[in-house]
Amino acid sequence: MIEPLYEVLRLVDGDRTPTMRLVYVKLEVAKKCIIAASAKYVHMFIDIVEDRWDLQMSRDLHMAAYYLHLGFQHEDELAYRDDLLGVVTSVVDRMSRNHEKAATALNELKYFGEGIISFGDPSAIAS
């Protein structure tokens, strides 16, 4: 049950610093594995993970980075997660100094989510 957490710890404690989106994905997978492993004792581990998650990783910028990674976008079908799309919209609005450019970027999200134009190229997805 705790093996997925060991994987996350090895990732973040390694010689190479992982990207936030990779840590985000690994924690999501670890939570799913813990929940699937034991319904009886799941609360003991999930409560701790969720508390840390909320303090460290549940930030708009991290969630937006996860959403904007093409590999995860198609593999995890993130285009259908309205919560993440709302976060990306919020981040773009906050970080943009020009509202017209922000609107253009948000319009591009449709192409991004649907994997059309160059966003659907195998090389883009693999990157």
Whether residues 38 and 91 share a domain: the answer is no
Regarding whether 38 and 48 lie in a shared domain, the answer is yes
Of the candidates 22, 42, 58, which is a domain's last residue?
A: 58
d(CA 55, CA 53): 5
Span 48-94, pLDDT tens digits: 777 877 776 667 887 888 788 777 776 767 777 888 888 888 888 88
The number of beta carbons lying within 10 Å of the beta carbon of residue 83 is: 8
Q: What is the residue whose two structure tokens read 């980075």?
A: 65
Question: For residue 126, what pLDDT band results from cuts at 50, 70 and 90?
Answer: low
Residue 46 and residue 4 in one domain: yes
Q: For the chain, give the mean pLDDT.
A: 77
Cα–Cα dist 18/34, whole Å? 22
Of all residues in the chain, what percent carry a pLDDT higher than 70?
A: 81
pLDDT digits (tens, 9 = 90+) for 107-122: 887 777 666 666 656 6
pLDDT-derived band of residue 38, with 50, 70 and 90 as boundaries?
confident
- For the chain, how many structural domains are there in total? 2
One domain for residues 36 and 92: no
DSSP single-letter state for residue 19 = P
Is pTM beyond 0.85? Reply is no
Q: Using the 3D structure, point to which of 58, 85, 104 is the last residue of a domain.
A: 58
21 and 52, same domain (yes or no) = yes
Is the CB of residue 64 less than 8 Å from the CB of residue 87?
A: yes
Residues 12 and 74 in one domain: no
Residue 45 and residue 65 in one domain: no
Same domain, 81 and 20: no
Domain ranges, residue 73? 60-127
- Do 75 and 124 lie in one domain? The reply is yes
C-alpha neighbours within 13 Å on the C-beta side of residue 96: 15
| Same domain (yes/no): 66, 30 | no
Residues 50 and 72 in one domain: no
